[in-house]
Amino acid sequence: MPTRQRAIDGYARRFGEAPQGVAFAPGRVNLIGEHVDYNGGLVLPMPIAAGTWVAYGPGQGGVEALALDFDGAEDAFLPGQPAPHQPADWRSYLRGMAAGLAACGLPVAPARLAIAGSIPRGSGLSSSASLCVALGRAFAALTGTEWSASDLALAAQAAEHQWAGVHCGIMDQMAVAAGEPGHALLLDCRNLASRTVALPADWAVMIVQSGVRRGLVDGHYNARRADCEVAAAALGVPSLREASLPQVEAAALDPVVRRRARHVVEEIGRTRQAVTAIEAADLPTLGRILAASHASLRELFEVSVPPVDDLVGVLQRAIGDAGGARMTGGGFGGAVVAVLPAALTSQVHAAVLADYRAPDGAPIQIMIEQTGGEPAGEGQ
């Protein structure tokens, strides 16, 4: 059953009436600009067709929520007084989003919510940012208020920091809240300025799950962020966005910290080059830039894992020099993204199924995103 309908049916079964409406937010795939958002850098994510649907209706004093993807688990609290939930799970995001919106002066009404999503969890495709933004849109609809994409994104980021303990940047939340389906979003994480970058309609974006679920990520992620902060402090700059490669090479840095800083400075440059290549409809050049990004994430930032490297290799061999592939998201497992000529899609799909095996033998999930056109997923 389509995910949107699951949310509607789940709501009707649980609350005995039809919902007032259904809010949606997509997931995202990051094309390039990895681990640079929390360094004030430039990123190029794209919303995907998969996402989170929240069927909503007015509540009776409190917030009552039902998570259809977690065996119908429920949560209930008073809008003004959500308490932290440990260990962090979907309830942390729900309560964190309610608290984050209230902290931004955005009223949260009593609500009934039924949540269903289609983003594979642990895949680096931002299921949590999608959940938070969809919840924010449901609360906004119930209070009849218009919240800007950046208000929603900042409240969602606060939920991640304060309620789930992940010190993430702002890329995922902004991509999910402000991105346009089928188009990339060039986002400057220093000031949240953004513009849409259209991908040629004869290109395809393919997302393949490595089958390695990101686990125990938070500690590694926060450690990488800390390395970058150490580098910026040693260089005397507010963030690595302000650092140059010669500065990084010349400074007295610990070798590990120097590798992290070099990745960030070069990756910001690659994001700029990728936008130029996309706007020139030059897919072979974009492919080389994606390959360089992956190599840097593997060697310098050290957030890839062998199965993800294998999968990138399988994709790159199947695509040849017509496009490219790289890990996407925070790393330590999750999904790989490839950009390729749409005409090669079935051949590359077949090559992945023939040549890649997930470590636990799990079936390989492949998603193909439409470029240039209208959303494929909103109505699902």
The region of 1-9, 31-39, 70-78, 333-341 touching ligand GLA under the rule CB under 6 A is 31-39
DSSP 8-state class, residue 274: H
- Report DSSP letters for 127-175, one per residue: HHHHHHHHHHHHHHHHHT----HHHHHHHHHHHHHHHH-----SHHHHH
Q: How far is CA 285 from CA 93, 267, 321, in A?
A: 39, 15, 9
Q: Does 302 bind ligand GLA (CB under 6 A)?
A: no
- Active site (annotated) includes residue 69: no
Q: Which of the following is catalytic: 75, 151, 172, 227?
A: 172
Q: Given the complex with ligand GLA, which of 267 and 369 has the nearer CB atom?
A: 267
Q: Does 40 bind ligand GLA (CB under 6 A)?
A: no
The answer for residues whose C-beta is within 8 angstroms of residue 340's C-beta and 6 or more apart is: 203, 204, 206, 283, 319, 322, 323, 348
Taking the complex as a whole, the smallest distance from the CB of residue 330 to ligand GLA amounts, in Å, to 3
Taking the complex as a whole, the smallest distance from the CB of residue 59 to ligand GLA amounts, in Å, to 30
Q: Given the complex with ligand GLA, which of 42 and 286 has the nearer CB atom?
A: 42
In 3D space, the residue among 200, 194, 236 whose CA is nearest the CA of residue 42 turns out to be 194
- Report DSSP letters for 211-258, one per residue: S----SHHHHHHHHHHHHHHHHHHHT-SSGGG--HHHHHHS---HHHH
Residue that is written with structure tokens 């991640």 in the block: 160
The region of 30-38, 71-79, 290-298, 348-356 touching ligand GLA under the rule CB under 6 A is 30-38
Q: b vs e for 50-82, b when ≥16 Cβ sit within 10 Å of the residue's Cβ?
A: bbbbbbbbebeeebbbbbbbeeeeebebebeeb
Q: Does 329 bind ligand GLA (CB under 6 A)?
A: yes
Q: Is the dihedral of CA 42, 276, 299, 235 positive or negative?
A: negative
Taking the complex as a whole, the smallest distance from the CB of residue 290 to ligand GLA amounts, in Å, to 14
Q: Does 38 bind ligand GLA (CB under 6 A)?
A: yes
Taking the complex as a whole, the smallest distance from the CB of residue 37 to ligand GLA amounts, in Å, to 5
Backbone phi and psi for residue 368, each to the nearest 5 degrees, phi listed first? -115, 120
Q: Does 175 bind ligand GLA (CB under 6 A)?
A: no
Taking the complex as a whole, the smallest distance from the CB of residue 132 to ligand GLA amounts, in Å, to 11
Q: Does 298 bind ligand GLA (CB under 6 A)?
A: no
Q: Are 31 and 46 in contact (CB under 8 A)?
A: yes
Selected from 120, 330, 333, 334, the binder of ligand GLA by CB under 6 A is 330
Q: Given the complex with ligand GLA, which of 75 and 172 has the nearer CB atom?
A: 172
Taking the complex as a whole, the smallest distance from the CB of residue 278 to ligand GLA amounts, in Å, to 18
Q: Given the complex with ligand GLA, which of 30 and 304 has the nearer CB atom?
A: 30
Selected from 171, 208, 319, 338, the binder of ligand GLA by CB under 6 A is 171
342, two tokens: 């749409």
Selected from 169, 211, 334, 377, the binder of ligand GLA by CB under 6 A is 169
Q: Does 241 bind ligand GLA (CB under 6 A)?
A: no
| Size of interface with ligand GLA, in residues (CB under 6 A) | 11
CA distance 181 to 184: 8
Binding site for ligand GLA (CB under 6 A): 30, 34-35, 37-38, 168-169, 171-172, 329-330
The residues that are catalytic are 172
